[in-house]
Structure 1
Amino acid sequence: MVEREEMEDLLLRYYEGVTTEEETIRVEEWLGTSDENREIGWQIQTIVLAANVAQVSSKLDVKKALSNVHRKMKREKVGSRYQVLFRGMQRAAAILFIPLVVSWCMLYFDKDVQVAEMMEVRTNPGMTTSVVLPDGTEVILNSSSSLQYPSRFSEGERKVKLLGEAFFSVMKDKKPFVVKALSGSEIIVHGTEFNIEAYKESEMVQTTLVSGKVSFSYFNRGKKENLMMQPGQKVVYDIAQERVVVKKVNVDVETSWKDGHLIFKNTPFEEVLKRLSKQFNVEFVLKNPALKHNSFTATFTKQRLERILENFRISSNIRFKYIDDGNINTERQVIEVY
């Protein structure tokens, strides 16, 4: 029982993005051991997501919402899922803002509520998280990303807004699923798996199609154009130049981040550093320009950054130096590369 309670507390911190690297590995290994563990993880994640319903809490009567939840739980035969969920909510009281949790519960159990509230999920630098949308679509968010979506989709379409990188497993439906990205670009699908990278600072939108079909919508000289993608293709949209490049890629390499892996196949060193920077929330300063011409092939599975850099040092004599500038306000560790 003590171990179960300890893991529930750890799961709360994990879905809030505040676990250490060791704790993150422990949680992910625990989640992978059984369906029951994954079910508990889903319940805890649901509680954490309730903390994003700030707009809901300002509009709903909290006492009325709590009374509504108790009434419905007494009236209906509550299964083990809801029992664990409600116990988890009580245990989360010291961490989560209770009015937010209660307000979300009212929306979840009371089907008469018609107003769709906007939800937002964010990931901290160096962390990933997953969320299940109202239609059953599964989304995995990469580091420093955010996803906005309604608490319920409209009758005509399913539309979300992404800033950063995410992997989508879209639930099939007659209603089109639309992902709004940077500079008016959109990805329109009906049921498929694809990856989108659209970080604001990069001024690029990159979409990789794993399965199914998607239409990539973008602006070209002020005019809206659509490009139909095929599985295994990657579209790179240069926002500044309004130019699109389509190329064939290895989808396992492009989407390996969602499983905690890093796969490089003849990958330019600058791209390697970029992916390491995003994965571990560090900043690399390339001091040896000649390294730009190097490419690498390697696979790393949930390894620490120090171990990965050591592999590069041994195999290619590349040296890394951690810089301490004494500035406690520095958000990311700086590493020089020689």
Structure 2
Amino acid sequence: MTDNKHIQHKIEDRLTRLTNQEPAEQILAAQQIISEIGTINSHAAFAKVQKRIQKRKNTISLLNTFSRIAAILFIPLLLASVWLFYNQQKPVHQQFAIQEITSPPGIRSQVVLPDGSKVWLNAESTIKFQVPFQENSRNIDIVGEAFFDVVKNPDRPFFVQSGNVKVKVLGTRFNYKAFADDENIEVVLEEGKIALNLQSDSKNKETILIPGDRAVIEKESSKTTVRNENINKYIAWHTGKLVFDNSPMSEVARLLERWYGVEVRVQDTEIMNYRFTTTFENESLFQVIELLGLSSPIHIKYVPATVGKNNQAQTKSKVIISKK
């Protein structure tokens, strides 16, 4: 670029001086100028021009490409922006799951619920509840027996239900017993106040319980009996105590089965009328059956469980009770 300008200035200078020379001298000078013009590298000049044109074309092509890409992306980006704006205006629906907790035969367990309430699960018992709890209520479904120590929250009442029997509490301590093979459902209140609701035949009957009340609801008829009595034997299990208070053998056998995870067989019907009053705490099964045998005219035989492949128990241990 600099060389071409230098040559241009040189030619212009010589043409100026040429007009002042004689004809012969003008001819010689003109020939010299023509020869110098011929020395200009026309190929290099053309290459430079072509390079500038190509650079301009590339710039235009690149701009066109970006324009096409922007046009292609504009609609999806617009739709995404609309979707995000719309969803930001909608309330967030929190995900939840159903939690199920089971205490196997012979095992009692304690559970702390999401709200801090405590639950003691008796053997062979199951509770189910939503995690997290609903915004306006706390609901528990139960099969078996559990003792509840509920954290008070008036804005989120606590419900426990089995079948058509539903208990509503705000903050209290109570026992709920609803084994599948029992004829009755029992609710015992230790502290606070609860509302017992019977939902059957399109009727909703509500019974208020006060501390010391024991409600017995017949599953078939929904007939409800409420008595205020010494409730210790009904709730002592959650503290590790097995209490018999003038309990018939039928009740003793059922409690032993759940407490120790064994099968109890009573071979003489007469024994069913025997009654027992005693309290066991942390005693083994062998200690319990020995003491029961010493306190009444009965003979107790223990048959260990049979074990199959992979050390899996095929049958439960058995306690066979017969008359001496």
The answer on whether the counterparts of 2:105 and 2:124 sit within 8 Å (CA) in structure 1 is yes
Is 2:137 the counterpart of 1:157?
Answer: yes
Q: Out of 250-259 and 162-171, give the one that drifted further.
A: 250-259
Q: Out of 261-270 and 122-131, give the one that drifted further.
A: 261-270
2:245 corresponds to which residue? 265
Which one-letter code corresponds to 1:192 in the other structure? T
Is 2:184 the counterpart of 1:184?
Answer: no
Q: Distance in 1 between matches of 2:183 and 2:307?
A: 29
1:313 corresponds to which residue? 293
Q: CA deviation at 1:254?
A: 0.8
Q: Distance in 1 between matches of 2:196 and 2:175?
A: 12
Which one-letter code corresponds to 2:245 in the other structure? K
Q: CA deviation at 1:217?
A: 1.3
Is 2:318 the counterpart of 1:337?
Answer: no
2:265 corresponds to which residue? 285
The answer on whether the counterparts of 1:221 and 1:242 sit within 8 Å (CA) in structure 2 is no
Which one-letter code corresponds to 1:296 in the other structure? F
Larger radius of gyration: 2
| 3-state secondary structure, aligned to 1:332 | coil
Q: Out of 243-252 and 155-164, give the one that drifted further.
A: 243-252
| 3-state secondary structure, aligned to 2:237 | helix
In the TM superposition, 1:4-43 aligns within 5 A as: none
Q: CA deviation at 1:278?
A: 0.8
TM-score of the pair, normalised by structure 1? 0.63
Which one-letter code corresponds to 1:268 in the other structure? P
> Deviation string for 1:305-333 (max 9, x for gaps)?
11111011112122112347968564422
Q: CA deviation at 1:220?
A: 5.0
The answer on whether the counterparts of 1:219 and 1:242 sit within 8 Å (CA) in structure 2 is no
The answer on whether the counterparts of 1:269 and 1:291 sit within 8 Å (CA) in structure 2 is yes
Which of the residues 117, 122, 129 maps onto 1:142? 122
Q: Distance in 2 between matches of 1:168 and 1:194?
A: 5
> Deviation string for 1:203-228 (max 9, x for gaps)?
42111111111111124555221111
2:232 corresponds to which residue? 252
TM-aligned CA distance change 1:325 to 1:264, over 3 Å: closer
Is 2:279 the counterpart of 1:295?
Answer: no
| 3-state secondary structure, aligned to 2:160 | strand
The answer on whether the counterparts of 2:304 and 2:316 sit within 8 Å (CA) in structure 1 is no
The answer on whether the counterparts of 1:220 and 1:243 sit within 8 Å (CA) in structure 2 is no
Which of the residues 210, 226, 231 maps onto 1:230? 210
Is 2:302 the counterpart of 1:322?
Answer: yes
Which of the residues 210, 220, 243 maps onto 2:223? 243
Q: Distance in 1 between matches of 2:297 and 2:184?
A: 32
2:174 corresponds to which residue? 194
Q: Distance in 1 between matches of 2:306 and 2:136?
A: 54
In the TM superposition, 1:211-222 aligns within 5 A as: 211-219=191-199, 221-222=201-202
Q: Distance in 1 between matches of 2:315 and 2:166?
A: 31
| 3-state secondary structure, aligned to 2:95 | coil
- Unaligned 5+ segments in structure 2 are 1-91
Which one-letter code corresponds to 2:159 in the other structure? V
The alignment covers a number of residue pairs equal to 226
Q: Distance in 2 between matches of 1:325 and 1:332?
A: 5
| 3-state secondary structure, aligned to 2:181 | helix
Q: Distance in 1 between matches of 2:129 and 2:194?
A: 19
Q: CA deviation at 1:180?
A: 1.5
TM-aligned CA distance change 1:201 to 1:331, over 3 Å: farther
| 3-state secondary structure, aligned to 2:116 | coil
Which one-letter code corresponds to 2:147 in the other structure? F
2:78 corresponds to which residue? none
Q: Distance in 1 between matches of 2:110 and 2:305?
A: 35
> Deviation string for 1:40-86 (max 9, x for gaps)?
xxxxxxxxxxxxxxxxxxxxxxxxxxxxxxxxxxxxxxxxxxxxxxx
| Sequence identity (%) | 29
Q: Distance in 1 between matches of 2:262 and 2:304?
A: 13
In the TM superposition, 1:111-122 aligns within 5 A as: 114-122=94-102
Q: CA deviation at 1:302?
A: 0.7
Q: Distance in 2 between matches of 1:141 and 1:299?
A: 20
1:78 corresponds to which residue? none
TM-aligned CA distance change 1:331 to 1:249, over 3 Å: farther
Which one-letter code corresponds to 1:272 in the other structure? V
Q: Distance in 2 between matches of 1:159 and 1:314?
A: 46
Q: CA deviation at 1:171?
A: 0.2
